A and B are shown apart, each in its own frame.
Chain A
Amino acid sequence: DTAVSQTPKYLVTQMGNDKSIKCEQNLGHDTMYWYKQDSKKFLKIMFSYNNKELIINETVPNRFSPKSPDKAHLNLHINSLELGDSAVYFCASSRLTGNTEAFFGQGTRLTVV
């Protein structure tokens, strides 16, 4: 069974559209994250969500909004998509305490045309 799964794997859409990427983890983890990986492979934290506490990276445009219906899900909604939003988006999760790594989903390649 996949520990962290995100859908879709690929998403091609036009500028100005609104889209969502879904993420689910079955590990019982307390914290979930969204990362953006650009064309240079830089991994930047966008959001972390921990027991209903949302920590936002201040550089993320407010067109991006995370939505967490429950502890196992953290979806990413993007309004008014721009060309510069094209990237791979990774969902991840981890336990709150202890020496635990972040478990990653397989990534969603978003292409805005």
Chain B
Amino acid sequence: AQTVTQSQPEMSVQEAETVTLSCTYDTSESDYYLFWYKQPPSRQMILVIRQEAYKQQNATENRFSVNFQKAAKSFSLKISDSQLGDAAMYFCAYRRRSNQFYFGTGTSLTVIP
């Protein structure tokens, strides 16, 4: 079974600073996809960034980047120049080739002005 672990239930960061959210996963597959989703208080699930397991290069999307360590089964999200609008729940997700998605327990990010 695939499991996704987010060990930080809550994190906080000062506005304009950098924060890293951790995610590890357990799998026996070699080909899969990883995602970070953001869920603001509006409860809409918003894709932040994606990573293909076969790509060694870490994905980046503007202020968001990942540190993907396949051997360690680690997929952390770095948010640079944090903004008030980044405050939300962040979910790490694993997608199997069979198209099943599994989500971590989430990290609640607070941005301090």
Residues of A whose CB lies within 8 Å of any CB of B are 30-31, 33, 35, 40-43, 45, 48, 50, 55, 88, 90, 92, 94, 96, 99, 101-102, 104, 106-107
Contacts and interface: CB of A to CB of B under 8 A. Distances in A.
Given A31-B99, A90-B45, A101 B35 contact: yes
A104 B99 contact: no
Interface residues of B, number: 22
Given A42-B106, A101-B35, A106 B100 contact: no
B107 to A, nearest CB: 10
The majority secondary structure among interface residues of chain A is: strand
A30 to B, nearest CB: 8
Given A90-B45, A99-B33, A104-B44, A33 B105 contact: no
The majority secondary structure among interface residues of chain B is: strand
Interface of B: 33, 35, 37, 39, 43-45, 47, 50, 52, 89, 91, 93, 95, 99-103, 105-106, 108
Contact of A94 (B45, B99, B106, B108): B99
Contacts of A101: 35, 37, 47, 50, 95
Contacts of B100: 45, 48, 55
